[in-house]
Structure 1
Amino acid sequence: MRWAGAAGLLAGYAADQVLGDPRRGHPVAVFGSFASSVQQRMYADDRARGAAFTATLVGAAAGLGLAADRVTARQPLARWVVTAVATWAVLGGRSLTREADILHAQLADGDLPAARRQVRNLVGRDPSQLDAQELARATIESVAENTSDAVVAPLMWGAIAGVPGLLGYRAANTLDAMVGHKTPRLRRFGWAAARFDDVLNYLPARVSGALAAALAPAFGARPREVVRVVRRDAGKHPSPNAGVVEAAFAGVLGVRLGGANVYEGEVEDRGTLGDGPPPAVADIHRASRLSSAVGLAAVGLAAAGLAAAGRRARRRA
C-alpha cells in the first residue's frame, strides 16, 4: 500500500502541473465556503471557541481522509486513485507559478495597474502604491512562502500520514488563511488556527529551505552561502516558517527580500533577508523556476520515503 501511496503522490503532483486548479468547484474553495458558514455559527472573541472551530474542521477533513484510507485498505489501485486525486486537490504549485508568470509579463510590459490588481491573488499587503521593484519583491516573497505551504508541506504530510495527512494539512492551512490574522476581530478566535499552521509547517519550511540550498548551483549560487543567509536572516521575519523559505530564496537568487509592508493601513517590518540588490522584474521568472525545482525535488523525496518504508515493511514481514 505504501507503493500505491507513493505512486499516488507522483500522479497527483503531475496532475497539478498539467491541469492546475479548476476554475470552478475547487475542493479547497468548497471547504472554505463550508468553513465560513461554520465560522458564522461558532465565532466568539475567545481562544477556546477558535480552538474548537479549528479542531472541528481539521478533524472532519482528516476523518474523511481516514475513511478513504480504510475503504481502500486492501485495494492498491483504489488507494492510488484516491491518493492521486487528494494530492491534486491540495497542491497549488502550478497555479502559484502561473500567477507569478502573469505578473512577470505585466511588469515586463510596464502595466503597473494590472500588476497591482494581479498581485492581490498572492499577497495580503496593500499594493496600491507599490512600484515595479516592490511588486517584484512581493511576488517573489509569496512564491517562496507558498512553495512550502502549497507544495512541500502537503507532500510531506501525505508521505507521513497518507490521505488524512493531505486533507488535514490543507484544511489547517486554509483556516489559517481565513482567520489566522492579527486583526482586532480575529486576534483571539484565529489564534489556534495560526499556531497549529505554524506547527504543521515547521519541518516543511526547513525542508523547503534545504532543497532550495541544494539546488543553488543551478541558479549560480553556492549552497553554503544560502545556508549562511538563512541562519543569519530567517529569525528577522515575524513568521517562524516563512522567514526560513524567503531567506533561502533570497540567498539562491542573490537578491534582498523583506522590508516594510502595509497591511490594512498598518506598517509591518518584515526584516531584511539576503545580501543582494532589491529584486528586478526578471527575478520573478527565476523564482518561479526555483519554486518548480523545489516542488519536483520534494515530490521525489516524499515518494522515495514512502517506497523505502514499503521495502522495510516487507522485510519485517
Structure 2
Amino acid sequence: MTRALGIVLGHLADRRLGDPRRGHPVALFGSLAATLEKQVYADSRRRGLLHLTLLGGAVAGGGLVLERATRDHPVAHTLATAAATWTVLGGTTLGREATAVHGFLAADDLPGARQRLTHLVGRDTSVLDESEVSRATVESVAENTSDAVVAPLVWGAVGGIPGLLGYRAANTLDAMVGHRGARYGRFGWASARFDDLLNLPGARLSGVLAAVLAPLVGGSPRRALAAWTRDARHHPSPNAGVVEAAFAGALGVCLGGRNHYAYGVEDRVRLGDGPPPTKDDIARAVRLADVVSAGAVAVAALAAARRA
C-alpha cells in the first residue's frame, strides 16, 4: 500500500505546487545529459544507444537503490515514492502554460501567445495564426498529458521508484535528442524508439480515459473512440496519434495539419472530424487533461495496491 499512497501524495503535491522554478531535478538531469552528449556524440546509432544506456541506467539504478533502501520502512517508502512521483509529473505546469496561451489569445495578443507557446511545443510558432496557435496548444496538452502524467504513473504502479525515474529519464532524452534532423537522425534513434516503447501503455490508457470522461467536457465517448480507431494509425507517432485523436474526438474538433520545425515541415494527418479548435477549446482541453490525470492516478493507485 505504501507505493499506492506515495503515488497519490505525489500527484497531490504536483497539483498543489507544480514544478519548482529553480533546481528542478529533471532540468539538472537535462544539463548532465547535454554534458555527456558532448563527450560521446557521433553520428551513429551505437553512440546514441550508449548515451541512453549510461544516463537511463544510472537514473533507474539510483531509483532501485532508493526503492530497496526504503521498502521495509513504510513511512520512508511512502515519502520516497511521493517525492519521485512529484518529480516526474508535469500536469500542473502543462495546464498553467496552456492557460497562459489562452490568456494571451483572449487579450488579442497573438505575438504574446506565439511566444508563450514555445514553452509547450518545438515547432516554429512565429508563422501561426490564432487558429493554429489554438491547435498547437490543444495537441500539446493531449500528448503531454500522456507523456508527463499518465505514462509515468503507469510505470510507477508497475516499477515503483525506479519505474518513475527511469521513465522520466528516457522521456527527457527523447525530448532532447529523439527528433529528426541532420544531427540527431541516427544519434537520437535509440532514445526515440525506447520512448515509443515505454509510452505504449500510457498512451492507450490516456485514450481510454479521454473517451470515457469526454462527457465531463461536453464531448462524446463515441466520437472519441471513432477518431482513435479511424485516424490514430495514420499519425507518424504510435502514441501521440492515439492521444491526440482521442482528445480531438472527445472535444469535437479537428487536429493535425502542417507543422513547421527547425529541421523542416511535416504534414500531419487530420485527427477528428470537427471544426478547427478555437481559443475556448484550450480551456476545455485543460479540463479534459485534468480529469484524465485524476483517472490515471486512481488506476495507478489501484494497480499498485493490488501488487502489494
Same fold (TM over 0.5): yes
Corresponding position of 1:313? none
Shift of 1:221: 2.4
Shift of 1:228: 1.1
Corresponding position of 2:91? 93
**Equivalent AA in structure 2 for residue 29 of structure 1:** A
Shift of 1:225: 2.1
For 2:262 and 2:26, the matched residues in 1 are separated by: 25
SS of the counterpart of 2:78? helix
Corresponding position of 1:131? 129
**Distance change (3 Å), C-alpha of 1:269 and 1:203:** same
Corresponding position of 1:260? 258
Corresponding position of 1:14? 12
**Equivalent AA in structure 2 for residue 271 of structure 1:** V
**Equivalent AA in structure 2 for residue 160 of structure 1:** V
Deviations 1:280-315 (CA, angstroms, capped at 9, x unpaired): 1100000000001000000011001111222xxxxx
Corresponding position of 1:315? none
Deviations 1:177-210 (CA, angstroms, capped at 9, x unpaired): 0000111111110000000000000111011000
Corresponding position of 1:108? 106
For 1:180 and 1:160, the matched residues in 2 are separated by: 25
Corresponding position of 1:141? 139
Question: Is the CA contact (8 Å cut-off) linking 2:216 and 2:288 kept in structure 1?
Answer: no
For 1:264 and 1:69, the matched residues in 2 are separated by: 40
Corresponding position of 2:204? 206
For 2:198 and 2:306, the matched residues in 1 are separated by: 23
User: Deviating runs (4+, > 3 A) in structure 1?
Assistant: none
Shift of 1:265: 6.1
**Equivalent AA in structure 2 for residue 116 of structure 1:** R
Corresponding position of 2:302? 304
**Equivalent AA in structure 2 for residue 94 of structure 1:** T
Q: Kindly, what percent of the aligned residue pairs are identical?
A: 59
The one of 36, 39, 48 aligned to 2:37 = 39
**Equivalent AA in structure 2 for residue 242 of structure 1:** A
**Equivalent AA in structure 1 for residue 257 of structure 2:** G
SS of the counterpart of 1:6? helix
Q: Report the more deviating stretch, 199-208 or 212-221.
A: 212-221
For 1:219 and 1:185, the matched residues in 2 are separated by: 42
**Equivalent AA in structure 2 for residue 268 of structure 1:** E
Q: Give the total of aligned pairs.
A: 308
Corresponding position of 1:177? 175
What TM-score, normalized by structure 1, do the two folds share? 0.96
Shift of 1:25: 0.1
SS of the counterpart of 1:261? strand
SS of the counterpart of 2:123? coil
For 1:75 and 1:104, the matched residues in 2 are separated by: 45
Answer yes or no: is 1:67 the counterpart of 2:61.
no
Counterparts of residues 198-277 of structure 1 (less than 5 Å): 198-264=196-262, 266-277=264-275
**Equivalent AA in structure 1 for residue 88 of structure 2:** V
Q: Report the more deviating stretch, 218-227 or 124-133.
A: 218-227
What TM-score, normalized by structure 2, do the two folds share? 0.99
**Equivalent AA in structure 2 for residue 233 of structure 1:** D
**Equivalent AA in structure 1 for residue 274 of structure 2:** G
SS of the counterpart of 1:240? coil
**Equivalent AA in structure 1 for residue 46 of structure 2:** A
Question: Is the CA contact (8 Å cut-off) linking 2:203 and 2:240 kept in structure 1?
Answer: yes
For 1:225 and 1:114, the matched residues in 2 are separated by: 33
SS of the counterpart of 1:8? helix
**Equivalent AA in structure 1 for residue 279 of structure 2:** V
Shift of 1:69: 0.7
